[in-house]
A and B are shown apart, each in its own frame.
Chain A
Amino acid sequence: SQQGEEDPQALSIQEGENATMNCSYKTSINNLQWYRQNSGRGLVHLILIRSNEREKHSGRLRVTLDTSKKSSSLLITASRAADTASYFCATDIGGNKLTFGTGTQLKVEL
């Protein structure tokens, strides 16, 4: 079964707007990671947030983690057409392996 579930499944916004994606998970984690996947390509790592961290930034990306609610959010500010992709959260619960969610498909329109 999937450990992480992203919400929404699909999101369509205009260029320049902000995009927010959420991830919920079921068990305690060591860290949570966000990845991007362009159509037909492999995944690219975006941000890793540890279980003792609450917020992390990288360029236009902001990730929050609420371990009490077992949830995380990814915010992309000032979105661009090039941000169009699928975004996945993945949880590390130990054992050197990740469990991926089902993804959010983001479309940024000009």
Chain B
Amino acid sequence: DGGITQSPKYLFRKEGQNVTLSCEQNLNHDAMYWYRQDPGQGLRLIYYSQIVNDFQKGDIAEGYSVSREKKESFPLTVTSAQKNPTAFYLCASRTSGSNQPQHFGDGTRLSIL
């Protein structure tokens, strides 16, 4: 069954701790994206990657880091520099070419302990 898997579904972070959110896709998509969604809000782009070993900052990259060592995987690290990390994090992927939709995982909800 093709799709995008995000884990864990719920995550708790202590003060000063870095945490990593997993995103794996078996759709053979080149591009992958990380979004942050706050309650009642739309999605804001954190980072995106159009190809392996390359990624670009989105609109709110400060306090986050990513890697793209494999086509299937695009993990997001929320660092201790991100002072307000409580949010719903969504990963998406997209095939190459113009006029293509994005496919989303079911998200990770991050909270502060």
Contacts and interface: CB of A to CB of B under 8 A. Distances in A.
A, B bound? yes
Interface of A: 2, 4, 30-31, 33, 35, 40-45, 48, 50, 88, 92, 96-103
Given A45-B101, A92-B99, A97-B58, 5 more contacts: A30-B99, A33-B102, A42-B106, A45-B103, A100-B43
Given A88-B43, A102-B41, A42 B99 contact: no
Chain A at the B interface: mostly helix, strand, loop or mixed? strand
Contacts of A103: 40-42
B31 A44 contact: no
A9 to B, nearest CB: 9
B42 A50 contact: no
B42 A101 contact: yes
Contacts of B107: 40-42
